[in-house]
């Protein structure tokens, strides 16, 4: 894999960019490379943690660990739940899942649920004209008993307003949430473009905690748009067209003949 693609697809690299950003670091969960020592330390600091492959997409390989009573843990992987694990048993099960691949540990965010399932928010940032714009915001709701919200794993897309209204957010609160989501997504795009100037778009995945505070879970350099087909086909088509325009503009901008 070329170095550029290797870096832009690496969750650790992108997490470090966010953590060092003066405005975005307060929206970024704590993280570190996966080791058993750091896993044990994270589980003393946070109610639960996520463990993610440094390079993967569509939620593949992601698992969560919840500390229960003293010395016992619960591990969730795909649609499976393993309960009553000692730390030794937990570490052995995690080693099977990880299979010596590089992983990161990320602080888990306690979030409200929509219709009994976890959800997150996918924000698309593109440049259909001269400036970066947020061109789409969608809520992704996980399939029953699933850990991840990815559409490829059975997740379903909703308009963000539908989910927020169900959670009791007033129109004023919904408007404030959207403003913050747009702000952090554009800041994230600017930060990523500084390090990866060939990017033509990103997808920003965000969780809302119980106080509706946003947390940036991940930055995707090649986001999927299928979530929008679940509730707004016209918006999906527009985002797809923007994607083509953004790619053409980037190719022109970076061409050695662009100045001619």
Strands 119-126 and 48-53: unpaired
Q: Mean pLDDT across the chain, nearest whole number? A: 89
| DSSP secondary structure of the chain | --HHHHHHT-HHHHHHHHHH-TTTGGGS--EEE--HHHHHHHHHHSSEEEEEESS--TTTT-EEEEE-STT-EEEEETTEEEEEE-HHHHHHHHHHHHTT--EEEEE------BTTB-EEEEEEEE-SSSS-EEEEEEEEEPPTT-S---GGGT-EEEEHHHHHHHTT--HHHHHHHHHHHHHHHHHHHHHHHHH-TT--EEEEEEEE-TT--EEEEEEESS---GGGGGT-HHHHHHHHHHHHHHHHHHHHHHSTTTT-
- What CA–CA distance (Å, rounded) separates 231 from 157? 7
User: Mind listing the pLDDT tens digit for each residue in 126-173?
Assistant: 998 889 999 999 999 999 988 889 898 899 999 999 999 999 999 999
Rounded Cα gap, residues 6 and 14, in angstroms: 11
CA distance 243 to 182: 18
Give pLDDT, residue 259.
31
pLDDT digits (tens, 9 = 90+) for 45-97: 998 999 999 876 666 889 999 998 778 999 999 888 999 999 999 999 999 99
Q: What is the pLDDT of residue 16?
A: 93
Confidence of residue 216 (pLDDT cuts 50, 70, 90): very high
What's the predicted TM-score (pTM) here? 0.89
Enumerate domains of the chain plus CATH numbers.
Answer: 30-107 (3.30.1490.20), 119-253 (3.30.470.20)
What are the beta bridge partners of residue 107? 49
Measure the CA–CA gap between 153 and 45, rounded to whole angstroms: 30
pLDDT at 212 over 60: yes
Q: What is the pLDDT of residue 58?
A: 64
pLDDT at position 11? 86
């999906």: which residue's tokens?
A: 236
The average pLDDT across 183-212 equals 95
Lowest mean pLDDT among 10-19, 23-32, 103-112, 174-183: 10-19
Cα separation, 177 vs 199, in Å, equals: 26
Supply the pLDDT for residue 246: 73
Question: What are the structure tokens assigned to 77, written together?
Answer: 């992987």
């Amino acid at each position: 894999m070329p170095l550029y693609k290797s870096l832009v697809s690496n969750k650790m690299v992108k997490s470090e960019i966010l953590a060092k950003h003066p405005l975005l670091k307060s929206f970024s969960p704590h993280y570190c490379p996966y080791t058993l020592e750091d896993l044990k330390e994270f589980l003393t600091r946070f109610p639960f943690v996520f463990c993610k492959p440094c390079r993967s997409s569509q939620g593949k390989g992601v698992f969560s660990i919840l500390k229960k009573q003293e010395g016992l843990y619960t591990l969730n992987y795909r649609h499976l739940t393993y309960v009553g694990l000692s730390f030794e048993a937990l570490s052995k099960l995690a080693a099977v899942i990880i299979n010596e691949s590089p992983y990161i540990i990320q602080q888990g965010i306690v979030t409200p649920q929509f219709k009994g399932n976890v959800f997150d928010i996918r924000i698309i940032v593109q440049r259909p004209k001269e400036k970066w714009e947020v061109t789409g915001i969608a809520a992704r709701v996980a399939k029953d008993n699933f850990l991840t919200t990815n559409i490829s794993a059975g997740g379903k897309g909703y308009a963000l307003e539908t989910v927020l209204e169900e959670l009791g957010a007033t129109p004023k609160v919904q408007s404030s949430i959207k403003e913050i989501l747009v702000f952090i997504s554009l800041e994230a795009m600017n930060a990523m473009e500084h390090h990866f100037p060939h990017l033509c778009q990103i997808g920003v995945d965000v969780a809302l905690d119980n106080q509706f505070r946003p947390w940036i879970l991940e930055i995707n350099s090649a986001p999927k748009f299928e979530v929008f087909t679940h509730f707004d086909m016209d918006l999906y088509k527009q985002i797809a067209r923007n994607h083509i325009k953004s790619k053409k503009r980037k190719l022109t901008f970076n061409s050695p003949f662009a100045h001619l």
